[in-house]
A and B are shown apart, each in its own frame.
Chain A
Amino acid sequence: MLDYLQNLALANWVRSSPSIFAYSTVLTVHAVGLAIVVGVNTIIALRLLGIAPGIPLAGLRRLYSIVWIGFFINLVSGCLLFIAEAHSMAAMVAFWAKLFFVALGMIVAGLLKRLYFSDVASVQAGIVTRVGRNLAIVSLVCWYLALIVGRLTGYPDLVSGWLGLSGGGT
């Protein structure tokens, strides 16, 4: 399966084309998407935790459209980056941990919409319920852990060393 993905013409192109639109741009776009997803989720969580209380909660909910744009950008760029180096990515603990926290972050966003933003009375009255606050904290934790372990995918040897696995390199 990993062989199949990694040998796709598209995967080859992303990995080894000298074109600026191949690996380097896909990676760059992935960083922009990350900033959008983490940044906007951060704003939403900060507002729910009491920072910038002047932002109407119904208006805040609309910011999820931007989160979705960032998520879509990174889903596409992330798939391209994965198939380009399917074997080495799939072998990384940090990569799977990142996917886990991204998935959890998206689930928490879904729960926020279902359990808090759908509570029209509270939202209209400008009240952030306890569920809303707790989910905001979990959301922040998920997105920043995703960011941290995502960056660690660039340091497989270091991670192996920390985990006491037999890593190469140093």
Chain B
Amino acid sequence: MIEGIANFLTVRSMQTYVNAHDWVWPVCEMTHYVGMSLIIGVIGILDLRIMGLFKSIPIAALRPLIPWAVVGFIGNLLTGIIFVTGTNSGATFYVDNLSFQLKMLFVLLALANLLIFRFTGLERAVYATPAGASAPVAARAISAFSLVAWVLIIFFGRMLMYNDTLLLFLGR
């Protein structure tokens, strides 16, 4: 199955383009880092506030920053697609890589977490929390999970270049 997915995700024309232009890869990496910083800055601070830090800030006041995190996420999705489809080693480098698999797992968990936050009505309760007040306990748990997930996404994202080290550590 992994082989099939890897074949599907290996795009010859993207590989050719990336190969022919030596600036593409580093520029995509920089963009990926910018997106990562926007997500951690916006979502990280929002999570910390919901968890009870920086209570002088009304939670709803942070809301206008969220589109910046969304832009970061979309940028990273697009540059991520370029990495996977355009790498010289073929998409199998990513698809058959435990660090990458864990990264994608936590991306999905973070998004599922976000959907729970949205559709259980917690989001509304959270944004109604004024300065000085605490968010509901369930929302704090959601935020703590979000914070851990995003840090792990960076961790496994950077670790995928050192997957052998991770496998060695796990004794595999």
Contact = CB atoms under 8 A, between A and B. Distances in A.
Contact of B40 (A35, A46, A144): A35
A5 interface: no
B165 interface: yes
Interface residue SS majority, chain B: helix
Contact of A158 (B26, B36, B37, B40): B26
Nearest to B56: A59
A153 B36 CA distance: 18
B42 A32 contact: no
Given A18-B165, A24-B159, A52-B64, A32 B26 contact: no
Contacts of A118: none
Interface of A: 18-20, 23-25, 27-28, 31-32, 34-36, 38-43, 46, 51-56, 58-60, 62-63, 66, 144, 147-148, 151-152, 154-155, 158, 161, 170
Nearest to B64: A52
Nearest to A29: B155
Given A20-B169, A28-B159, A52-B61, A34 B37 contact: yes
A62 to B, nearest CB: 6
Nearest to A42: B41
B158 interface: yes
Contact of B38 (A20, A24, A39): A39
A54 B54 CA distance: 14
A59 B54 contact: yes
27 contacts: A19-B165, A19-B169, A20-B162, A24-B158, A28-B154, A28-B155, A35-B33, A36-B40, A38-B34, A38-B37, A39-B38, A39-B39, A39-B40, A39-B41, A39-B42, A42-B37, A42-B38, A43-B42, A52-B62, A52-B63, A52-B65, A54-B58, A55-B57, A58-B56, A144-B34, A147-B30, A158-B23
A124 to B, nearest CB: 12
A53 B138 CA distance: 28
B131 interface: yes
